[in-house]
Amino acid sequence: MNRLILAVIFVLPSTLLGQTFTYAPINVPGAVATEARGINNYGEVVGFYKNTPCTDSDLVVPNCPNTKGFKLVNGSYIKLMVPGSRRTVIMGVNDYGDLVGFYTKSSNGTTHGFIWYHQNVVKTIDFPGVANATIPFGINKAGIVVGGFWSTGSAGTGPPGGGWVWINGTFYHMNPNNGAGPCCESVTGVSNNGVLSGVVFQSDFFQAWMKEATDEDFFTYPTVTQCCDTTGTGVNNNIDMIGFGGGIGLSGQVGTGWFTKHIELNEVESSEDTPSFISVAFPKSGSTYPFGLNDKRWVAGTYSDSAGVLHGFIAKPNF
């Protein structure tokens, strides 16, 4: 069955339910900023941090040169740098502890995607013939990696130029769209059972999307400052999804995090149900950006405090 939503636009803040998560901050010791990006089913969290102040021009793919990776396991922070790199950005982790992200070489300043296997072997992956950097966002237990093409230079991060899926050493383009003049796609998440999540710019808005086999859903989400920009950032085996409203860039937009439960659960072949959104908002934060989701519905992400400083967080559901 191939069901296609042209655009389900949610226009009422009442689609948000009350706070139903318990939150805990994540801060790498000695860092001036910490961002959590991925979480696996064992509760291991990965991300990156900065030792000196630097503001990225885009939130989804950072472009600051002083970024270093970390892994949080059983309360202990492990700092990680790809050998020979001057910048290491960790974006995702699977249940084996394999990591994905991107790094910049110290020798020539070029940026490359990587898989850092739990056996401590680092594999560089670059989509052939693409000028923009190959940016991995997630890896599942089968070793399938997903991501997009992004510019990451000192001038700033550009919008994604296309999405991809990497399977057993081979790249495949993955650009779902609803036929409304799409551009700027990226795949941002992959579950262990192969469900994909992502973002696409079309019909004047960023839209989140989910793809389960041949079924594709597209939807947008309301914010105070922008009607319908939505970024989908993660999906799990239950087809729960996470993301945020406000587009992919910083540009003064307030990030409003959301979670939606099993968006396919009540659907039948002839209809699509409108999912209900649960707010993901770190207490007293300026903005909240969920990025990682596991099958326990634990969420890892990033929030800004009253001074605009970024911190990581983990949120556990009370439902």
Residue boundaries of the structural domains of the chain: 8-317
* pLDDT tens per residue across all 319 residues of the chain: 333 333 333 333 334 445 589 999 999 999 999 999 999 999 999 999 999 999 998 889 999 999 999 999 999 999 999 999 999 999 999 999 999 999 999 999 999 999 999 999 999 999 999 878 999 999 999 999 999 998 776 555 666 788 999 999 999 999 887 666 667 889 999 999 999 999 988 777 788 899 998 888 887 765 444 456 789 999 999 999 999 986 555 444 567 899 998 876 644 454 555 667 899 999 999 899 999 999 999 999 999 999 999 999 999 999 8
Helix (H, G, I), strand (E, B) or coil at 202: strand
How far is residue 192's CA from residue 171's CA, in Å, rounded to a whole number? 18
Residues 6+ apart with CB under 8 A from 195: 210, 211, 212, 235, 236, 237, 239
Look at residues 198, 195, 196 and name the one whose alpha carbon lies nearest to residue 186. 198
* Residue 37 pLDDT: 98
Instruction: Please state which of the four CATH numbers 1.10.10.10, 2.120.10.30, 3.40.30.10, 3.40.50.720 is assigned to the domain occupying 8-317.
Output: 2.120.10.30
Check residue 154 and give its pLDDT: 59
Place of tokens 């992959």: 190
Which token pair is 106? 């110290």
Please say whether the beta carbons of 292 and 314 come within 8 A: no
Residue 181 confidence (pLDDT): 60
Q: What pLDDT score does 165 carry? A: 97
Residue type, 60: V
